[in-house]
Structure 1
Amino acid sequence: MPNVTELELNFYLVVAFVILVVKIFTFVNALMFSGEAYEAAGKLTKPAWCLILGIGVAVNVLLLGSPISFLNLIFLIAALVYLADVRPALLSLTRR
């Protein structure tokens, strides 16, 4: 029977992995749209979003011991804003 510490550690690792996957997905997704699409959608420029999301991935990788640190949470919020606001706007421009 697993003890509470093992369960906490496993939960912590799953959360850390999910956060990393979300950040990597948003960064790669941001690279796939053209710079003109960002301008047409009225959002920050492509280099700005790629920089924000890329730094978020780097911070997550460098701070592996703490996925819920202040910096990681800030960049997770940025990734979630991208997913909730920017990505749908970009997709609506490229759909045919």
Structure 2
Amino acid sequence: MYIDLLNPFWWLATAIICYKAFALADAAFRRDDAYRAADKKTKTFWVVVLALALGADLLFGANPVTGLLTLVGLVAAIVYMVDVRPAIKLLTDGRGRGGRSNQGPYGPW
């Protein structure tokens, strides 16, 4: 274990797994209709793709140098985080629950 902490590839693999886990959790907690409103693939599609990407890393081990499954899954997570998440966040006001903000009946409060 101590030797793993000194290995930069272990840190890189851990960061990739954490990034994919965050992307999966974010995709799972967003509203389903927001994906359609943002003209993106469905929520089910993104949750399945990101779950497969994370599952492959947890099952086979994340190898950031030569692992093709790791790199393909990382690309999917990056596409979700850079393209899909901002579009959905814009529609749902960043909260994932739909359009609520700090607006009262007479303006902001």
**Is this a same-fold pair by TM over 0.5?**
yes
Q: Distance in 2 between matches of 1:85 and 1:20?
A: 20
Structure with bigger RCO (C-alpha 8 Å, 6+ apart): 1
Give ranges in structure 1 of 5+ residues lacking alignment.
Answer: 1-5
The gaps in structure 2 that reach 5 residues or longer are: 94-100, 102-109
Provide the TM-score with structure 1 as the length reference. Answer: 0.87
Name the counterpart of 1:62: 59
State the structure with more CA Rg. Answer: 2
CA RMSD of aligned residues (A): 1.6
Task: Give the 4+ runs in structure 1 shifted more than 2 A.
Answer: 65-68
TM-score by length of 2: 0.77
> How far apart are residue 71 of structure 1 and its match?
0.8
CA shift in 2, pair 1:65/1:16, >3 Å: closer
One-letter amino acid matched to 2:24 = F
How many residues are treated as equivalent by the alignment? 90
8 Å Cα contact 1:60/1:67 also seen in 2? no
Report which of the two has the higher share of helix: 1
